[in-house]
Amino acid sequence: MRAMVVRAPAAIESAPLAAAELEIPVPGAGEILVRVRRCGVCRTDLHVAEGDLAPKHPQIVPGHEIVGTVEKSGPGCRRFPPGARVGIAWLRETCGACAYCRRERENLCPNARFTGWDADGGYAEFTVVREDFAYAIPAALADDAAAPLLCAGIIGYRAIKRAAVAPGATVGLYGFGGSAHLALQVLKHWRCRVFVMSRGGVHRDLARELGADWIGAAEEPPPAPLDAAILFAPAGGLVLPALEALDRSGVLAVAGIHLTPIPPLDYERHLFYEKELRSVTANTRADGQEFLDLAAQIPIVSHTIPLELADANRALRMLKHDELKGAAVLRVSAD
């Protein structure tokens, strides 16, 4: 099968992903073999390609925003028939037995494994996954539209929950790319007032099109105190202005898996009055299915840029340099 693999992590400008011919994986007990139709391009893939997240094994196949169809089932599988459309996300497997799994916090499982990092992902024509970690894709969501929802969308939704956003709240989004443009649509569905802090260019254009109530630079104070804020950009320096913009008891959720160093905080300016700083770690399967069902109901519009599998380096380079108006999606298999 065709695949794009990370032979050795390096700056994306040097094209560290290489085309390869790999054996089609064989599904084991409880696993399904999925023919990949679409795979969204996520910033976490960039971190794997560049080595911020060191690949767990040589020639890893990145990609964890996967939409495909069930090609074959391993022993014991009963959930999805052949041909069923499924999604595969970042959280690939948990132990099911630790304290976190038992408390319905499986995203914190210390034995968790992740798609496109611990095991090969969707930058390939086929992949395998445990069927209990695959998602049913609502019929209302087309392949291209569904792919970014499986990480950018789910993580944005998890961040909204971690930021304790209530309907009608005033919310600040710091950084505006593939995840934030989906989160904005959820927030507007909940009648929130949304302020977007972005460096400019195509991101501001898209935020305006999607109904942001105010758009400015991260260093600018927003026009009103924030009940909640979400940091999507992997820039630790933005934590300070985001905290300072919060109203009393406001919550800032950091949505990224990788963040540059956070500068020293001034307690009175940034944290006093019961402000909170929270991280976001993956998602639970319940988060994922809840969000996919909500996305079909709203319905959320994914702004996507279709590219071919061989364009994976280019897609990640565009992502790194903020050249994508929305999310890139690799078209892996023909319709």
207-219: string of b/e by CB count within 10 Å (b at 16+)? beebebbbbbebe
Best CA proximity match to 122, nearest among 11, 5, 281 = 5
**What's the gap between Cα 97 and its chain centre?**
26
- Using DSSP's 3-state secondary structure scheme, residue 133 falls into helix
pLDDT tens readout for residues 216-249: 998 889 999 999 999 999 899 999 999 999 999 9
Amino acid 335: pLDDT: 64
Q: Where in the chain is the domain with CATH 3.40.50.720?
A: 153-279
Cβ neighbours of residue 230 closer than 8 Å, sequence gap 6 or more: 156, 159, 160, 163, 171, 172, 173, 174, 180, 183, 252, 253, 254, 255
CB-based burial label for 221 (10 Å; 0-12, 13-18, 19+):
exposed
Contact call for residues 151 and 65 (beta carbons, < 8 A): yes
Amino acid 7: pLDDT: 92
Give the residue ranges of the chain where pLDDT is below 70: 335
Best CA proximity match to 151, nearest among 319, 287, 7, 6 = 287
pLDDT tens readout for residues 261-309: 999 999 999 999 999 999 999 999 999 999 999 999 999 998 899 999 9
What fold characterizes domain 2-151+282-331?
Quinone Oxidoreductase; Chain A, domain 1 (3.90.180)
Phi-psi region of 242 (alpha: psi -120 to 50; beta: other; left: phi over 0): alpha
Amino acid 202: pLDDT: 79
Beta partners for 197? Answer: 174, 216
Amino acid at site 314: R
Supply 155's token pair. 């993580």
Contact call for residues 62 and 123 (beta carbons, < 8 A): yes
- The string of DSSP letters for 188-246 reads HHTT-EEEEE--STHHHHHHHHTT-SEEE-TTSPPSS-EEEEEE-SS-GGGHHHHHHHE
* CATH class of the domain comprising 153-279: alpha beta
d(CA 62, CA 135) in angstroms, rounded, equals: 19
Contact call for residues 55 and 117 (beta carbons, < 8 A): yes
Amino acid 54: pLDDT: 87
**Which residue bears the tokens 């690949």?**
55
Q: Where in the chain is the domain with CATH 3.90.180.10?
A: 2-151+282-331
